[in-house]
Amino acid sequence: MTGWPTQDAQRPLPGVPGYRVTRVIGEGGMSTVYLGTQLSLGREVAIKVMRPEALADEVSRRRFENEARTIARLEHPHIVGIHEVGRTDDGLPWYAMPHLARGHVGQRDLTGDPQRVREILRALLSALAFAHARGTIHRDVKAENVLFDEADRPLLADFGIALRRGHGTRVTMTGLAVGSTAYMAPEQARGQQVDHRADLYSVGVLAWEMLTGELPYKADDALSMAIQHTQNPIPRLPPALRHWQKFFDRAMAKSPRKRFADAAQMLEALERIPVHQRSRGPDPREVVARMRDRLVRVPRAAWVALALVLAAALGLGMHGRSPSDAGTGAGPERRTAAPAPADGPAADGSEGAPTADAMPAGAAGDMLAAAPLSAADRLLDQARAQVAAGRLAAPAGDNAADSLVEAVRADPTHPQLVATATRVSDALRDASVRAIARDRASDLDLLLRTAARVQATGAVPDAARASWRTRVGEAIEARAERAVTRVDRATALRMADAADTAGVPEDTVRQLRARAERLPDLQGRDPGNLDGMKVLEGTARPLAAYLKPVTRGDYARFAEATGREPTLCRERASLLRMVSPRDWSRPGFEQGDGDPVVCVSVADVEAYAQWFGRRDGHRYRLPTATEAAGLPAAGGRALSEWRADCAADCAKRRAAGASFRSDEASRTLDADRGYDDVGFRLVREL
């Protein structure tokens, strides 16, 4: 990885276990980036080492390491991955990434290449859609964090200050909001709560910079820049780029509510921006074709009149010359390379065409009327018009795909065939991406089948076919991911079928189908908010389990709201019960609000589950041992957890997992009392 301005460092190189650190390749406000070699694999890497002042205490360092490990699981073709996380010999957190030596987007001039800008934006929005679906917000999208690999693909880098749902929403240092103020959303600049829409604002700023070559706001210092983002109106684009203005007005809206709802919606808006070609003038061959098409529609009587006018004009030109024309070679007696008959070569060896003064009277009209467009000319012109009108795959017999297929049959070597096939393929690609984003299943099926028919003609060039596979494949994968997150089995299966039809690689199709088939069938029921939960596989009925046990703080809110008396942790006959009573609020050891609650009976758990379910309309309960298999451990102090499995007429319940008091993997305990080493987590019936 690279992309930061290189700078010589006079400080000693850090000791990073397992790596040989070579030199400094970048400096940032929170970190230093070094070039190094991973000794076990012999590969070159970039090693990001956090500055001591960035993570000043052990809590923040551990949080950083946990976040880095979370980000390392973001496996996406347009996200720079993390190889490994660790501590330097001096105890500073670091992580290793690929070393990308092709630079960042801020080092490229893209002002004359809007198509490349679109490609980069598509890649970034695909990456952010993937990260946001997993609860990760980047919070520092900027030119220096968009790098290029050896294939020149753009990759989003440096989730170093990324934010996941469930953690604190403000990360500040000496009162300044973290992030690059040149790209920072207004709410982030003010240090307020942020969500994924802050990333979309930054993408808008970056898009402006790529298109225009400069930032939308300019200031001499970070504070002034932040103020402009919060107060100044969105600037206006120059006339040549005015067709992008509506996109930026929404992408860079001051209020998050007025921005795009998510990356998929922003991508959809990007696809709707008209593609304006550079001022190169029309293709001369297309102009001639259109002129000829219009000429053959003129009535024959008009041709006769036109021939007479031409004859009169030619007569005036040859016999009515002024004296100054004498001897200039303008008359027929000085003509060289006279046109040859229609079936013979011209004087210069090229095929000639008869002119009006070389024909018998009335022959000009006959010749023009007898030279209509070829069938392929007509069909390709028709296909282009149908693309402009949006008739890509329907109605039958009057759409761009049908016209293109017929044109290939009529003349597979026509010089305009490849350009028109590319235009049709790109239009079908963009329409398919929109249909995916809008969940238009019938439209998508027709578009995909039509695109396959167009590509089967062999007229679509490799670059256009690759663009089709990449763009449509990314859109399908992003939509499938959203379906999995929402436990939408039908849509996930439909996306697997769409990927197969679209020609997505077989491995990807298999993975999409396997993930979809593992989802339970909710038959249209809304699963609700599944943040912090995992959908369980192979259960008798659809269930989602919380990944963490119920906390002491959660239980305290329940106890306060219901006035429920605490259950004692001691045996009824215990003398200690009188001397030192224990309950969930006083378990006998120090706990914080985020620690798992203990000292609760099964009856307490069931009362909590009913109270919790009344708040969102779902049904919660304890999981069985089978249902809870594969869930992660609670972490921190080792605890067992109550399970729904019971014995002895349910007077006793199972507690699963070893604890700090017992090494047993499963115990049968009295259900009507609490234990200081037993907590609980809930499952939701979907």
Residues 481-504 pLDDT 10s: 888 877 888 888 889 998 888 888
pLDDT in tens, 384-439: 989 988 899 988 889 999 999 999 998 888 878 888 999 999 999 999 999 998 88
CATH class of the domain defined by 19-98: alpha beta
Q: Band the pLDDT of 161: cuts 50, 70, 90.
A: low
* Residue 488: both structure tokens together: 């939408």
Please, are residues 659 and 641 in contact by the beta-carbon 8 Å criterion?
no
DSSP-assigned beta bridge partners for residue 653: 646, 669
Q: CATH number of the domain at 533-685, out of 3.30.1490.190, 3.40.47.10, 2.60.120.10, 3.90.1580.10?
A: 3.90.1580.10
Q: Tens of pLDDT along 57-78?
A: 777 777 677 767 767 778 888 9
What CATH number labels 105-166+177-272?
1.10.510.10
What pLDDT is attached to residue 306? 43
At 29 the pLDDT is: 67
Distance CA 165, CA 379 (A): 54
**Residue 252 gets which letter from DSSP?**
T
Question: How many residues in the chain?
Answer: 686
Contact call for residues 387 and 400 (beta carbons, < 8 A): yes
- Residue 246: count of CB within 10 angstroms of its CB: 12
Separation of alpha carbons 365 and 362, rounded Å: 6
Mean of the pLDDT values across residues 544-563?
92
As a whole number, mean pLDDT of residues 566-586 equals 69
Is 48 annotated in a binding site? The answer is yes
Given this model, what pLDDT does residue 278 score? 46
**364 contacts 307 by C-beta, under 8 angstroms:** yes
pLDDT at 570 over 80: no
% of the chain at pLDDT higher than 70: 77
Closest residue by Cα to residue 669 from 596, 600, 575? 600
Residue 573: the pLDDT is 44
pLDDT over 60 (residue 350): no
Work out the widest C-alpha separation in the chain, in whole angstroms.
136
Beta carbons within 8 Å of 175's beta carbon, 6+ residues apart: 191
Reduce the DSSP state of residue 575 to 3 states and report it. coil
pLDDT band, very low/low/confident/very high, at 540 (cuts 50, 70, 90): low
Per-residue confidence (pLDDT) for residue 579, from 0 to 100: 54
Q: Which residue type sits at 260?
A: F
Cβ neighbours, 10 Å, residue 281: 8
Other beta carbons less than 10 A from residue 538's beta carbon: 10
Residues 51, 32 contacting (CB under 8 angstroms): yes
Q: Would you place residue 636 in the very low, low, confident or very high pLDDT band (cuts 50, 70, 90)?
A: low
607 and 620 Cβ atoms separated by less than 8 Å: no
For residue 99, give both structure tokens: 């070393």
Average pLDDT, the chain: 78
Identify whether 140 is a catalytic site residue: yes
Task: Label the pairing between strands 93-98 and 43-50.
Answer: antiparallel
Tracing tokens 């995909």 back to the chain, one arrives at 448
Q: Strand 640-647 to strand 678-679: parallel, antiparallel, or no bridges (unpaired)?
A: parallel
Q: H-type helices in 348-488, by residue range?
A: 363-369, 375-388, 400-410, 417-437, 441-455, 462-485
Evaluate if residue 325 carries a pLDDT over 50. Answer: no
SS3 556: helix
* Whole-prediction pTM: 0.43
Using an 8 Å Cβ cutoff, are 368 and 375 in contact?
no
Q: Which of 140, 262, 430, 677 is catalytic?
A: 140
Q: Rounded CA gap, 137 and 592, in Å?
A: 27
Task: Work out the average pLDDT over 24-37.
Answer: 84
Mean pLDDT of 67-92: 83
- Report the interhelical angle of 263-272 vs 462-485 (nearest 10°): 150
- For residue range 468-486, list pLDDT tens digits in order: 888 998 999 998 888 887 7
